[in-house]
Amino acid sequence: MKKTVNIKKLQLPLAFLLLFTVTACTNAKRTTANAIDKAAQQPENIRIQTENKIPENIKAIKPSHTVGVQTGRYSSIRSKPTSPQRDLLQVMITLTIPDEITRVGETLGYVLKRSGYQLQQPKPNQHELNRLFVKRLPNVHRQLGPMTLEDALTILVAPAFLLQEDPVHRLISYQLNEDYAGVTL
């Protein structure tokens, strides 16, 4: 069943709509032109402020080193380095030590692999540290984290050795804890 539309019935409302639109646009242009003409005739009533003075009761805000970066329509972040980016040993890690790594010294090297730091090999006179580096890695140390890199490096040698950081050369080394000096079994 087809519906037929009477075009003559539609012509009258379309004509009124077209007439109204043309009249409204023309009237708007005239109104704007009249307002501009009136303003031009009375310049003493119009004061344009060209100076950008801050009122005395409002304090100027100094720009900070951080800048907000918009990441979405309603969200933004501050462009500022995070704490782990400033102090590399404070990065949070979660590691599973592979089965191929069996010694404490190898594990320390593996933990430092992507940190930007290197493990300083023990000096020949550091007998205790040399012995620790060749000992088998305890199974409990095969799963590390979530913890900071500093905590992971400390746990692997604690309590007998203290972590030493050389930030200039990005080296990690260990020193015998004084409480354990001279202890022999």
- Write out the E strands in the chain: 68-70, 76-78, 92-96, 118-119, 143-148, 161-166, 171-176
Residue 53 belongs to a domain: no
Supply the range of the domain harboring residue 36.
9-41
In sequence order, the 6+-apart residues with CB closer than 8 A to the CB of 106 are: 137
Number of domains in the chain: 2
Whether residues 95 and 18 share a domain: the answer is: no
Cα 131 to Cα 94: distance, rounded to the nearest angstrom? 27
Query: Which residues, given as ranges, of the chain have pLDDT below 70?
Result: 1-66, 183-185
- pLDDT, position 184: 62
Whether residues 35 and 94 share a domain: the answer is: no
CB 84 within 8 A of CB 90: yes
What DSSP state is assigned to residue 72? S
Residue 46 belongs to a domain: no
Whether residues 159 and 107 share a domain: the answer is: yes
Whether residues 151 and 101 share a domain: the answer is: yes
Whether residues 97 and 175 share a domain: the answer is: yes
- pLDDT, position 84: 86
Residue 154 belongs to a domain: yes
Residue 103 belongs to a domain: yes
- pLDDT, position 46: 46
Residue 117 belongs to a domain: yes
Whether residues 176 and 88 share a domain: the answer is: yes
Residue 96 belongs to a domain: yes
Residue 78 belongs to a domain: no
85-121 exposure pattern, b = at least 16 Cβ within 10 A, e = fewer:
eeeebebebebebeeebeebbbbbbbbbeebebebee
- pLDDT, position 81: 84
Residue 107 belongs to a domain: yes
- pLDDT, position 80: 85
